[in-house]
Structure 1
Amino acid sequence: MNLKQLSLLVPFIGMLSTSAVAQQNNVSDSVDVFLKNKMEQRHIPALQVSIIRGGKVLKNTTYGVANLEYNIKASDESMFSVNSITKAFVGIAVMQLVEAGKLKITDPVSKYIDSLPDTWKKITLQQVLTHTSGLPDIMTPDEQVMGKGLESMAMAEVKKLPLEFAVGDKFSYNQTGYVLLGQIITKLSGMHFTKFIEERQFKVAGMKLTRFGDSFDVIPNYAGAYRMTKQLGDDYIRTKTPGIGYMQFPEFFRTAAGILSTSTDMANWIIALKTGKLLKEKSSIEALWTPAILNNGKVGGFNRLTNGYALGWPTVTREKHPAVAPVGGGRSAVFVYLKDDLSIVVLTNLMGSNPDQFIDALAGFYIQDIRTSFPTK
């Protein structure tokens, strides 16, 4: 190529670069409009979003009000509870112990915990992680953790209950197994499971603000918890405006829920996982994200979108644009699209906002042929 040809090519390259930036800005603006509409439709006070592609964060934006009582605007440092997305961190922690040669997911739980009921003794770590164990739930009918904050009391109560179904027969969301996993992680790692997750995931991934906590804790920049329902007798009624929600997770229960984070930190966590910083072996991530197969040969999950469940990670099991999709408290969701090099984090402070229902539509701004498969209103 001579100098004359090069001089003609340089402006053309500049035009392409400018066009790409403009296109990216247009997509970002469209995402802003989309999410603000969702916030208005669903009465979401505050929302954070991160879009990750190619190992980089394409978009990281915060909208709305973190504290309705004092009209405090949400910022990039506002902290949101991720609730049961915590289980995805537990799945990684278990696989880290697998890589360290300290356990196998096919091991029975009873190999590491004594004094379990006879009916529990053949249940494996994999069955516990995937909610196919049949264990009785440690939650009371009114959604409170048994034991009044005491692990020994909670375990004594739940051990008296019969199995809910034959192991592997179906998917049934269950918190008891994750309490057991916390005990195992603590025993095999030599430190409390919260410390193990902090050291091996928060710090490694550069999650500078992420921590464990609940509504009882004083947490700087906490975006709070709001809800659109109010209890009236044994029923819950829908309200027209958000009211304050309260969540308390005893420390022994914090493998099931209890992490607070920002979309920035969650994006860093996804990047760290996908680049081998949290799990070294590709086979470990494959195991982490493979949904359990039930005794009838099918997968089971929450609904027709998140229709499978792997090791702490709900899955969107479908031919086109499959994903793993941890969800938490009906208020936060993370979708990692397995064939599209796209990950989306949406955190909100409204329980029942269900961002998992509109993340596919949000992904449509980046994946041309995706079709939302769940209601988006």
Structure 2
Amino acid sequence: MKKLLTLLLLISQLANAQSKEKQTEAFLLRQMKDLKIPGLQAAVVQNGKIVFSKAYGMANLQDNVAVDNHTIFAINSCTKAFTGVAIMQLVEEGKLSLSAPISHFVDSLPALWQPITIKQLLTHISGLPDILRIQDPAGAANEEASWKKIQTLPMDSPTGTQFSYNQTNYVLLGKVIDKLRGQPFARVFQEMQFNVVGMPHTLFGDSRDIIPHFAPTYSFKKAMDGITLPEPRLTNNYAEFMPARRTGSGLNSTAEDMAQWIIALQKGKLFKNKETLNALWTPATFNNGQPTQWAMGWGVNKWRPRHRAFGMTGGARSAFLVYPDDNLAVIVLTNLGGASPENFLEELAGIYNPDIPAADPITTLRIELNKRGYNKAIETVADIRKKDPTFKPDENELNDWAYRVMSSDRTADALALFQLNAHLYPESWNVFDSLGEALLKLGRKEEAILMYQKSIELNPNNNGGKKVLERLGR
């Protein structure tokens, strides 16, 4: 009898696993169809094991090459999560403190840069100007000149007062790793992460590099050479990351490699102490004591009472989330810029734990707006609140979602989300700054000016908004 019960339990578990696999596959194929994604890899980790790993579509449209589990995808800013791990390994070894000023490790910096801490760099509250503003298209050939020039620009904001995502922070972190390890950070990542985990398909590189089994990235364009196209056209993407910038966006990988990395991270193969992992996933704070939206190199973080999630996105084409309380992780890599898989990761996770998407207001709202239309965002939230008075999407997550929508050439939909955010958070300078940006993109200059003025009224240190108003005044 006992053997029979065991056999029945195994049959039930197998049937359940097969059902989830079919649901996952159907879900991913639907996303590919709706978003016109050429190729995709996905992996799901549950209870420390890879329970799903599949590839779909075409890796290379030019040569009709299909995606398989060894196809390598650009993961772009997901690289920052690996940099966070590299920094925390130094912290754990006692070679670095998160509160240490950058001037302890990098010489001859401008005076205002010198007191900025490692933690402020990791979480993008340094106030530094972004090196992408002056990066020459020739890239690496002008790396030294770019580094000298960026140090002549004024600060974007006082350190510790505002969040501003930029690549200068991670250029500096790369210099710290180089100095404290006594070798280039690319070799450090290889020796202390990729080799330890077993990640044979993970490497640094960009469009200039010959990467075997690489899936080139595509994107849809509405205009080319100054001419509006009759319909969006799928085009090749080209990307260069100068060597010093590769701590922020230079890695390429597979979903299986990343799944193994997440397993190793949680099983203590990359850190000796669990406290280090907890610190990796702990947000920094602004000078006023309020938490930032970023942890140590991890920028998609859901600090909710249940089903916490930590992860990162890259290039609006790759993303992953780890659910430590649920022993779950999901990874999706694509070769379409603008696919933004981060938008549907919570739904994917919901196949393995239905409580996860139900706990996320952004996912709930996205599902509803896809049915009703984004122009009904404020009305939709009011209707949801009739059933759940506590419903309130997080300001930062809503803002990030709106920017992803805007980057996909859906500015009108993004505007509706920014307007919702301003409606929900009328005391936030940042939401009005973002709202002004969307209005400006739609050509509604006078309305944009009013929003930027409102933003500066709420935050007199909003130097970016002041620059926009100055430019509009001219």
The TM-score, its normalising length taken from structure 2, stands at 0.73
Q: Cα distance, 1:235 vs. partner?
A: 10
1:309 to 291, 294, 313: 294
Runs of 4+ in structure 1 over 4 Å off: 143-148, 230-239
Give 1:365's aligned residue: 351
What amino acid sits opposite 1:311 in the alignment? Answer: M
Q: Could you give the per-residue CA deviations for residues 10-52 of structure 1, whole angstroms, max 9, x where no partner exists?
A: 1122111101100110111011000000001111111111100
Change (3 A) 1:97 1:234: farther
Answer yes or no: is the 8 Å Cα contact 1:228–1:238 preserved in 2.
no
Give 2:171's aligned residue: 179
Q: Cα distance, 1:238 vs. partner?
A: 10
1:202 to 187, 190, 194: 194
Change (3 A) 1:236 1:277: farther
Task: Work out whether 1:326 is the aligned partner of 2:312.
Answer: yes
Give 2:63's aligned residue: 70
Task: Work out whether 1:283 is the aligned partner of 2:275.
Answer: yes
- What is the identity percentage for the equivalent residue pairs of Structure 1 and Structure 2? 41
Q: Cα distance, 1:150 vs. partner?
A: 3.0
Q: Could you give the per-residue CA deviations for residues 282-319 of structure 1, whole angstroms, max 9, x where no partner exists?
A: 1111111111222344334xxxxxxx211100112222
Q: Could you give the per-residue CA deviations for residues 116-174 of structure 1, whole angstroms, max 9, x where no partner exists?
A: 00011110000000001000100027x86796643321111100111111111121101
Give 1:95's aligned residue: 88
Structural mapping, 1:1-377, within 5 Å:
8-140=1-133, 149-229=141-221, 232=224, 240-300=232-292, 308-314=293-299, 315-370=301-356, 371=358, 372=360, 373-374=362-363, 375=366
Change (3 A) 1:236 1:139: farther
- CA distance, structure 2, for counterparts of residue 225 and residue 192 of structure 1: 27
SS of alignment partner, residue 229 of structure 1: strand
Change (3 A) 1:81 1:163: same
SS of alignment partner, residue 178 of structure 2: helix
Structure showing the higher helix proportion among its residues:
2
- The farther-off stretch of 226-235 and 180-189 is 226-235
- CA distance, structure 2, for counterparts of residue 224 and residue 26 of structure 1: 32
- The farther-off stretch of 311-320 and 261-270 is 311-320
SS of alignment partner, residue 59 of structure 1: strand
SS of alignment partner, residue 247 of structure 2: coil
Q: Cα distance, 1:66 vs. partner?
A: 0.2
Q: Unmatched 5+ residue regions in structure 1? A: 1-7, 301-307
- CA distance, structure 1, for counterparts of residue 59 and residue 264 of structure 2: 28
Give 1:305's aligned residue: none
Answer yes or no: is the 8 Å Cα contact 1:134–1:165 preserved in 2.
yes
Q: Could you give the per-residue CA deviations for residues 45-69 of structure 1, whole angstroms, max 9, x where no partner exists?
A: 1111110011100001111100011
Q: Cα distance, 1:200 vs. partner?
A: 0.4
Change (3 A) 1:328 1:38: same
Q: Could you give the per-residue CA deviations for residues 237-275 of structure 1, whole angstroms, max 9, x where no partner exists?
A: 895342111111111111111111001100110011111
- CA distance, structure 2, for counterparts of residue 155 and residue 234 of structure 1: 32
What amino acid sits opposite 1:357 in the alignment? Answer: N
- CA distance, structure 2, for counterparts of residue 280 and residue 95 of structure 1: 11
SS of alignment partner, residue 133 of structure 2: coil
- CA distance, structure 2, for counterparts of residue 277 and residue 319 of structure 1: 27
What amino acid sits opposite 1:37 in the alignment? Answer: R
Change (3 A) 1:39 1:186: same
- CA distance, structure 1, for counterparts of residue 229 and residue 14 of structure 2: 47
- CA distance, structure 1, for counterparts of residue 182 and residue 228 of structure 2: 43
Q: Cα distance, 1:236 vs. partner?
A: 9.3
Aligned length: 362
- CA distance, structure 1, for counterparts of residue 231 and residue 106 of structure 2: 45
The TM-score, its normalising length taken from structure 1, stands at 0.91
Q: Cα distance, 1:343 vs. partner?
A: 0.5
Q: Cα distance, 1:347 vs. partner?
A: 0.5
Q: Cα distance, 1:233 vs. partner?
A: 6.8
Specify which structure has the bigger relative contact order, considering alpha-carbon pairs within 8 angstroms and separated by 6 or more residues: 1
